Amino acid sequence: MAVGDVVSQISATSGTFTFQPAASVQVCITQFITSSQYNDNMYGRGNINTTNSIRITGGGASSGDPHISNWAAESHKFFLDNSSYLYFAAYSSQRCGFSGIQTA
């Protein structure tokens, strides 16, 4: 892959996956993808390790949890590399994922 290439991945139904770019590769995630209204989860790993998840939701949520859909007026750009990467966990019978661009 080269700088400017589109990068994307989506889970299998109820699946999980880790997206960790290769050494010396950087990816900017510009879109998170979900088929769930409230329950898909994303966790930081490596240098952005998190113990709590950020929920990726397709609908508005009012529970006060950190839902990505509530960031509608904010930038959805996450820069990932081999040391700072993400783990995705789709809710029961749902799918989640991302798309982005390789920047380095």
Residue pLDDT, tens place only, 25-68:
999 998 888 777 667 788 889 888 777 777 766 655 555 555 55
What are the start-end ranges of the E strands in 1-104?
6-10, 16-19, 27-34, 40-46, 54-56, 78-80, 84-89, 96-102
Q: Which two tokens stand for residue 63?
A: 């529970």
| 76, pLDDT greater than 90 | no
pLDDT tens figures, 11-25: 988 899 999 999 999
Global pTM exceeds 0.85: no
